[in-house]
Amino acid sequence: MTEFEQVIQQYPLFYLTATDQNTFASVALKILSLNKKLILLPSSENKTDLRLVYTDDCTSLFVPSIQTKSDDFYIGMMTSGSTEAPRIFAFEKFKIDYTLDWYKKIYNITNNSIILSSMPTSYNFSFVAGILNANRNNAQYQYLPPADLCDFIKINANKYDKTVILANPIILDILSQKQFEANGNILIDSGGAPLSTKAIKMFREKGFDLHEGYGLTETASLTHFDQEASEKSLGTVGYPVDSSIHVELETVENKPMVKIFSPNIGRHVDLEGKFIDESSSCYLTTDIGRFDADGRLVLVGRSSDVSINGFYPKDTLEIIADILGFKCALVQHLVNKTVNIRLFDPELLSYEEQFKQKVSDALNIPMNSVSVDHVSGLLHSLKLKRKK
């Protein structure tokens, strides 16, 4: 028995990190197959309150410094920290199984499909929609850096009945520059990347089956998906993926915040694997939303955003869509009623005056109330940072 196997047998709960994302995936599946509890740990997180029990050239396993009997859960995942300090939310196996049933329905993958991601394995989207989903359906999963992923798609996509891309702004930016047409078997889950409806149309016109969806670490990665992918559903995240899920808008500080009711709400756990809060069927998110005329959910901002003369960031994103084209941009409406446009592509900075003029005219605010900058730092989930 190897040292790794001995360690795995010894403890009931592990925190896992790895420098190679594909190795992370295989080690995580091994631990879960042995009915051990697992918490995915981003490499950047503080480990001072954990004890290292195994390490090699790639993988590190930690256990709680205080050994107590942890509560009954299957997997724990850490929130990204884009709006508050990262927290661990844990899920019983039946909740993960529900989510995987939903992903099977919306992705329709088979044993001849592949799921691709450039997001670190510790991120809920890549782990649940990618690794666990592929494992459940005997499909392939592969992590590749963004440029390599896009090259892989161009060369190999036709080898599979379905190629699913768990997208982020980096991948979308590179794909938009690739000179090839998709043949309909490439499904892009935008993963909440801030795309205008114009950009979505442009990707679809190139043959990419691009859908917007919604889900949080706290909800096991998935609640909504735009399965229609129609003209009417453009700009929405669609309807809930299951009849057991529904959404209400709860007014908090005069903002319509998204409140999700789902059987898959996670529970906050401490470092010893103990549940901190009671089980709940609902979760009040930090997202501002509204419904379209047919009841589809539209995400219009975050709790840190304000309405400016009736406009939210989603509206402003649509106003600048003609300048952005395929590109992503994070729009923020700040409390002093100024607008910040954060661009992923630095070349778009040359259009700074056009951005300012369009927003100024539409929102009826001075041009000097609009700022434009370039995002260089990224969260571990590779989403655009909301904080400077």
CATH 3.30.300 fits 302-374, yes or no: yes
User: Is residue 267 within 8 Å of residue 90, measured between CB atoms?
Assistant: yes
Q: Which residues pair with 33 in a beta bridge?
A: none
Question: Residue 79: which residues within 8 A CB-CB, separation 6 or more?
Answer: 86, 87, 88, 89, 216, 217, 218
Q: Which of 384, 382, 386 is nearest to 126 (CA)?
A: 382
CA atoms of 38 and 276, how far apart (whole Å): 17
Cβ proximity of 348 and 324 under 8 Å: yes
H or E stretch covering 256:
strand 255-261
**Residue 352, CB-side half-sphere exposure with 13 Å CA sphere:** 13
pTM over the 0.85 mark:
yes
Amino acid present at 98? Y
SS3 of the chain: helix, strand, coil, percent, to 5 = 30, 30, 40
Domain ranges of the chain: 1-70, 302-374
Separation CA 247–CA 235 (nearest Å): 17
CA 367 to chain centre: 33
Listed residue (289, 298, 283) closest to 255, CA to CA: 289
Per-residue pLDDT of the chain (388 residues; tens, 9 = 90+): 899 999 999 999 999 999 999 999 999 999 999 999 999 998 878 888 899 999 999 999 999 998 888 889 999 999 876 656 789 999 999 999 999 999 999 999 999 999 999 999 999 999 999 999 999 999 999 999 999 999 999 899 989 999 999 998 889 988 888 777 777 799 999 988 899 999 999 999 988 999 999 999 999 999 999 999 999 999 999 999 999 999 999 999 999 999 999 999 999 999 999 999 999 999 999 999 999 999 999 999 999 999 999 999 999 999 999 999 999 999 999 999 999 999 988 999 999 999 999 999 999 999 999 999 998 654 444 444 444 4
In the numeric block, which tokens belong to residue 65? Answer: 């410094």
C-alpha span between 352 and 124 (Å, rounded): 34
- CA distance linking residue 182 with residue 165, whole number of Å: 13
Model pLDDT, residue 380? 44
Residue 174 CA: distances (Å) to CA of 135, 168, 184, 273: 28, 10, 19, 40
Residue 151's Cβ-count burial label (10 Å; 0-12, 13-18, 19+) is middle
**Does residue 77 contact residue 40 with C-beta atoms inside 8 Å?**
yes
Burial class (CB in 10 A: 0-12, 13-18, 19+), 7: middle
Tell me how far apart the alpha carbons of residues 343 and 330 are, in angstroms, rounded to a whole number: 7
